[in-house]
Chain A
Amino acid sequence: MRTCAESFDSLILRSLGRDFGQVQLPRGLDITLCDQVFLIASGLIWNVYFATLALLAGFLVAVGLALAKGSARPALRKPAEAYIFIFRGSPLFVQFFFVYEALVLLPREGLVIPLGLIDLTLDTQWTTRAWAGALFVLFLNTSAYSAEIFHGALKAIPKGDIEAADAYGLSGAQKFRRITWPTMLRLAWPSYTNEAIFLLHATTLVFFSAFPTRQQMGDALYYARYFADQTFNPFIAYPIVAAYFVLLTLVVIGLFGLINRRLNRHLPRAARARLRFRPQYIR
């Protein structure tokens, strides 16, 4: 049996590929508890990668979408509403399948764009890899949910604040930067925290749906399932991955709580919005 130190060295980065750990995953009767703990932890790298990048990119797009949805112009409002309806109205699981099947139809040799003198060939091989394709789906999904949250927050900005800004003669851009944007963020933050937590949880679906694993690189749940199937004992692998997710969730709540305090720093103590973990969105 291997020692825990040996397991750690050979498995902790295995989810990044064969070059980062032992080539063959431990099998059958050779699996020790340390093997399970470290390999599942290694899978968390993918979960954190997906959650962080999708959230950051989604945040930027969501603000634009929320403004578009609240706009008076139908040319902006209708597409935003349609986008938000499609990505909030369908399950993430099905979105993964659908986008994978669609991406797979892109020509393998690359997209050829004729530019007059030369032809630009855009490589498309990488689009169906999990690190790109799944990230894309998660980004689309979270931007729709976040846009809905920000839109609700925009509607909830107190009327008096906007009128006061107008009374002070603030220009459109100034009003947005100093009043609308910070207030929207402050009002949306508790719900947005829940969204971040659910995005984190949703990253476990990536390797369950259409995206295949290469060189057996997967996320925490992929390895948990591997161990549960190899050892025929789900009572060790699944609680381990559950515990890891509880820890990660607490970290996210802590981080977002710090930001919440900063957003509410100008308010008297009684009026500050406490960050309540009130999850409302699952995929």
Chain B
Amino acid sequence: MFAFCTDPSTLSGWWWFACYLTSATHLDFYWSFGVVLLLLALAAPLSLALGMGGALAARSRFWPLALVGRGYVNAVRGVPDVIFFLFVPIALDQLIEVTFHYTMCPDWTAEIWQGNDFRVCDEAKTPAPGAPVWVRQTYGFVLALIAFALVFGAFVANTLRGAMEAVPAAQIETAESFGMTRAQAFRRIVLPQMWIYALPGLSNLWMILTKATPLLFLLGIQDIVYWARELGGQKTELYTYPHPDWRLWYFLVVLCFYLLLTWVSQRFFDRLMERVNLGQATAGGEAQRRAAG
């Protein structure tokens, strides 16, 4: 990156490090921090949406829907998340391609699974064979995002369901006595008030989501852990920047990144809890009143 980095073998000490830490592979390493943060920023609202859907389904009076909602939540909670991350992208990828195959190539007679090979017609291949690299990378990223959202959506659904049930029953009874339908009571009374009860659980889930991101490399994404392993290993003279095994230092950096992320998130949620509890008849609100006066 700098002008003096053209021949690193002549450098030593801090100059060598300056070039080493700004080499192309290290820039990929720094970029992967951004990818992780982007995934977090997108996975949180997506999980929230899926969780809301799951909670509503589980509480529904239409029993097949309730079955689907409850089944989704319990299946995901009983199984280690690693297994989902290994299984969902492959399954989803094949599902998408098979769906396109049946809709776009109805006259394809050959078998899809030929021995070990998975073959679909060219139009069904996702992403398309001639697609540029960024399309493929985005597709891989989206599959990972869906896998994350599916797993965490189930936990969010559980938290939101608990929060919905925690809204005092008296409120709902009052709403019904005013003539509101169940749906209206839900929209106007339960939904706005459940966030106080949901917030501790949701903040917890955010912490958990951040700590699940090291598993991204299982999904084929070149994330922080992938680069730390890759860059930390011993490099021989074949490389431009040979060095001994520095994995310990790289993992220390990754560790500090996560601790920083946790600390910042913790502060944010504490502030949010303070604001939400303002004036509320909960222990938190009571504590604020006592502290104020």
User: Quick check: do A and B touch in the complex, using CB within 8 A?
Assistant: yes
B211 at the binding interface (Cβ < 8 Å): yes
Evaluate whether A101 and B86 lie within 8 angstroms (CB atoms) in the complex, with A89-B262, A91-B258, A94-B254 already known.
no
Q: How many residues in B have their beta carbons less than 8 Å from beta carbons of A?
A: 40
A249 near B78: Cβ-Cβ < 8 Å: yes
Q: Is B63 an interface residue (CB 8 A)?
A: no
Complex Cα distance, B252 from A95, in Å, reads 9
> Which residues on B sit within 8 Å (CB–CB) of A176?
none
Partner of B255, one of A94, A204, A225, A235: A94
One of A92, A101, A225, A250 near B247 (C-beta < 8 A): A101
Say if the beta carbon of B215 comes within 8 Å of chain A.
yes
A91 touches B213 (CB 8 A): yes
Residues of B near A95 (CB, < 8 A) are 255
Asked whether B79 lies within 8 Å of A245 as measured between CB atoms, the reply is yes
Within 8 A of B (CB), among A69-104: 85-86, 88-95, 97-98, 101-102
Residues of B within 8 A of A282 (CB): 81, 155, 208, 211-212
Bound form: Cα–Cα A105–B246 in Å? 11
Stretch with Cβ within 8 A of B (4 or more), from A52-60, A128-136, A273-281: A273-281
Complex: A282 Cα to B212 Cα, angstroms:
8
With a CB–CB cut-off of 8 A, which chain B residues contact A250?
A: 78
* Chain A positions 234 through 277: 1 when the CB is less than 8 Å from some CB of chain B, otherwise 0: 11001001100110011000000000000000000000000001
Chain B residues positioned under 8 Å from A86 (CB to CB): 259
In the complex, per-residue mask of B239-276: 1 if CB is within 8 Å of any chain A CB, else 0: 00000000110011011001100110000000000000
Smallest CB separation, A153 vs chain B (Å)? 15
**Inter-chain contacts of B207 with A (CB < 8 A):** 88
- The reply to whether B255 and A98 form a contact with Cβ atoms under 8 Å apart is yes
Chain A 213-227 interface mask (CB, 8 Å, partner B; 1/0): 000000001001100
Contact with A along B20-63 (1 / 0, CB 8 A): 00000000000000000000000000000000000000000000
Could you tell me how many residues of chain A have their Cβ less than 8 Å away from some Cβ of chain B? 41
Within 8 A of B (CB), among A8-29: none
Contacting residues, chain A, for B208 (C-beta < 8 A): 280-282
Chain B's closest residue to A235 (CB) is B91
- In the complex, A181 has a CB within 8 A of chain B: no
Within 8 A of A (CB), among B201-232: 201, 204-205, 207-208, 210-215, 218, 225, 228-229
Once A89-B262, A204-B82, A277-B77 are accepted as A-B contacts, the answer to whether A98 and B213 lie under 8 Å apart by CB is no
Q: In the docked arrangement, what's the CA distance between A85 and B256, Å?
A: 12
A221 and B82 in contact (CB under 8 A), knowing A89-B259, A281-B208?
yes
Chain A residues near B218: list those with CB within 8 A. Answer: 208
Query: What's the Cα separation between A95 and B77 when bound, in Å?
Result: 23
Q: CB of A175 within 8 A of chain B? A: no
- Pair A238/B78 contact, Cβ less than 8 Å: no
A89 touches B263 (CB 8 A): yes
Q: CB < 8 Å: which of A89, A201, A228, A245 contacts B258?
A: A89
Contacting residue for B214 out of A93, A246, A277, CB 8 A: A93
Choose among A201, A208, A234, A279 the residue that contacts B91 (Cβ–Cβ < 8 A).
Answer: A234
Cβ-defined contact, A101 with B248, below 8 A: yes
In the complex the two chains form, what is the Cα distance from A114 to B225 in whole Å?
A: 39
Contacts of A94 in B (CB 8 A): 214, 225, 251, 254-255, 258
Min CB distance A5 to B, Å, is 28
CA distance A236 to B242 in the complex (A): 44
The answer, among B90, B162, B215, B255, for a CB contact under 8 Å with A90, is B255
CB < 8 Å neighbour of B158 from A102, A242, A278? A278
Given contacts A234-B90, A279-B77, contact A85 B259 (CB under 8 A): yes
Nearest CB of chain B from residue A91's CB, rounded to whole Å: 4
B80–A204 touching, CB < 8 Å: yes
B87 within 8 A of A: yes
Asked whether, in the complex, the Cβ of A281 is within 8 Å of the Cβ of B81, the reply is no
Q: Please give me the residue from chain B that is nearest to A247 by CB atom.
A: B78
Known interface pairs A90-B259, A101-B247; A245-B83 also in contact (CB < 8 Å): yes
Whether A283 pairs with B211 at a CB distance below 8 angstroms is yes
Complex Cα distance, B262 from A17, in Å, reads 40
Report chain B residues within 8 Å CB of A232.
116
In whole Å, how far is A193's beta carbon from the nearest beta carbon of chain B?
A: 12
The 8 listed contacts between A and B (C-beta, < 8 Å) are: A89-B263, A92-B211, A94-B225, A201-B82, A235-B91, A242-B78, A242-B83, A246-B78
9 A-B pairs with least C-beta separation? A89-B262, A201-B80, A246-B78, A91-B211, A93-B214, A101-B248, A242-B79, A98-B251, A238-B87
